[in-house]
Amino acid sequence: MSGGGLGRELHLLTFALDREAYGVPVGQVREVIRVTEITRVPHAPAHVRGVTNLRGRILPVVEIRTRLGLEPGAVTGRSRIVVVEVHDRVLGILVDAVLQVTKIPLESVTPPPAEVVSPGSDWISGVAQSSSRLVFLLELEKALQAPE
């Protein structure tokens, strides 16, 4: 994998879920918005928190915590909706807080330990060491796929 230094680091948006740090590629992120009113949708899948109005466009908001096996979270003043583009669709993922946009050297990324990966958790593509904490790298395509 040569590239004269290109592609030697990952450019990530990192965010908090239940005191842990997660990261997604900045290239998939459209914007980060404050949480305004989220309207519940009757009979929507459990991981869909609802929809919100984004400048006149209806934006589905996913409760990413429950997709990852965590308990649903309360919306606080630090909560944000990360607007992402996945599978040619634009949707929001509700996060506890946005931490930072960061560049992580590829050398600091390791595959997730085999002991923690199960067929239902293949959405972790790696674990990176970022300054003082570990960051789980999310593969949004898999994390946002409808459960089988």
Reported pTM: 0.87
Averaged pLDDT for residues 73-94: 94
Pick the CATH number of 9-143 from 3.30.565.10, 2.60.40.420, 2.40.50.180, 3.40.50.980: 2.40.50.180
Strands (E), the chain: 9-17, 20-25, 29-34, 48-54, 57-62, 80-86, 89-95, 97-105, 109-110, 124-130, 133-138
Please give the mean pLDDT across all residues of the chain: 87
Q: Running DSSP on this structure, what letter comes out for residue 39? A: B
Cα gap 126→63, rounded to integer Å = 21
Highest mean pLDDT among 2-11, 46-55, 66-75, 107-116: 46-55
pLDDT recorded at residue 3: 43
Chain mean position to CA 127: 14
Averaged pLDDT for residues 120-147: 83
